[in-house]
Every structure is written in structure tokens, then in C-alpha cells.
Amino acid sequence: MKMITSRHFCTLTFLVLFLSAAPGDSSSEEEEEEEEECVYTLYVQTGPMIMAGTDAKISVALGNAEGKLVQVPDLEKWGIMERDHYYYQEGSLDVFSGRGPCIDSPLCWLNLTSDGGSQFNSWYCDFVDVTLTGPHKRCSRAFFFVLQWLSTDHPPFRLNAYLDGCNLQQQKVHTPRNGTLVVRNSVIREGSSA
């Protein structure tokens, strides 16, 4: 009787070890997901007013409600406009695309930052439209109405704009037609805008 119990125990132990190393287990799926890269496409609209353009370095961080994020330290390096294109000029719509770590969608916050280190350091950004897609993932889109100067010379006298729509995302506040999360700048609503 004891031998049968030992044999069953050994078989059960072997089976558990074998199944835990199987390629379909959840820990290896999580590792694969972390290693996957997604494609991020950003449309950035510079305001049409005089002196709205800049040649400063612009960086962006995008994130979700769980705190996962992707950072682009120099957005111009993701630029896909024609060669010798000047980015962030008055009234221009610039397109950027690059790969970064996949984060669960939808994206719901944006931190847009200017390094302020150029001759033309004031920049007015109208909006940033972001699309995220990746292997085995639904396409996700977020539209951020920035409507703010990134400048120390114009209100709100900051070199960054932080828009957080994660609470809107949790309340499922989307535009009805296509499910795009639309986030408006709270600085504008508080009355300290351009």
C-alpha cells in the first residue's frame, strides 16, 4: 500500500512540474506580453498663432490607469515627415510613429514636455492624437486637447502639459461613434490658459 502511495506521489509531482514548465502557462504568457512591442502613432498639431512654433526638444510620456507607461525622450526621432522637415512649426500637423513596450489600453494620460533649450523655446500645442496597436491587441485611440503654451513666457508659465483622463476612462466617457477617449486640459477649464 505504501509503494502505491509513493508511486502516485512521484507521478503527481512529475506531472505538476511538467505542466508548470509547459509553454502555455500564465507566467510565460505574461513574460511574452512584456517583451512584445506595440506601434504608437501620434499626430501633433501646433497652434496657428504667430511664434507658436519651436525648435526645442519635445518629449512625451503616455500611460494607462494601471500606471504603465511608454516614454519617448525625443519625439522628433519618431518623426515620419519628409526629409528636412521642420517639426513643431506654426499651424503644422506633424506625424510621429515608433515602437515601444505594449501597455494595456486604453491610454488615458499624457505628459508633454519641452526642454526649453532653444532660441525659439515657446511652443503652443493644440492637440495630440494617439493610436496604439500591437500583436493580438485591439487598436486603441486617445485624443488629448492640450490647448496650452509650453513656455516660461506665456501662461500657465510651464514647460509641460499633463492631461489625465483616467477617471473619464473608468467612467467609460467616450465619443459615441468610435470609442476614442477624449481628454481636455484641466488647466484650460480652470481659466489659466493662453
What tens digit of pLDDT does each residue of 132-166 get? 999 988 889 999 999 999 999 999 999 999 999 99
Distance CA 112, CA 189 (A): 18
Tell me the CATH number of domain 37-189, given options 2.60.40.1180, 2.60.60.20, 3.40.109.10, 2.60.40.1120: 2.60.60.20
Q: Which residues contact 94 (CB under 8 A, 6 or more apart)?
A: 43, 44, 46, 79, 81, 85, 87, 88
Evaluate whether 139 touches 176 at the Cβ level (below 8 Å).
no
> What pLDDT shows up at residue 25?
41
Q: Is the pLDDT score of 22 beyond 80?
A: no
**How many beta carbons lie within 10 A of that of residue 94, not counting itself?**
21
Query: CB-based burial of residue 119 (10 Å sphere; 0-12 exposed, 13-18 middle, 19+ buried)?
Result: exposed
In the β-sheet with 123-133, what is the strand arrangement from edge to edge? 93-101, 37-46, 123-133, 140-150, 181-184
Q: Is the pLDDT score of 47 beyond 60?
A: yes
CA dihedral 47, 50, 51, 54 (to 10 degrees): 40
Q: Could you read off the pLDDT of 69-80 as tens digits, one per residue?
A: 999 999 999 999
| Domain boundaries defined on the chain | 1-35, 37-189
Q: Is the pLDDT score of 189 beyond 90?
A: no
Q: Please tell me which residue, 113 or 15, carries the higher pLDDT value.
A: 113
Respond yes or no on whether the N-terminal peptide bond of residue 106 is cis (omega within 30° of 0).
yes
State the average pLDDT for the chain: 80
Mean pLDDT, rounded, for 65-92 = 96
With cut-offs at 50, 70 and 90, classify the pLDDT of residue 34.
low
CA atoms within 13 A on the CB side of 82: 0
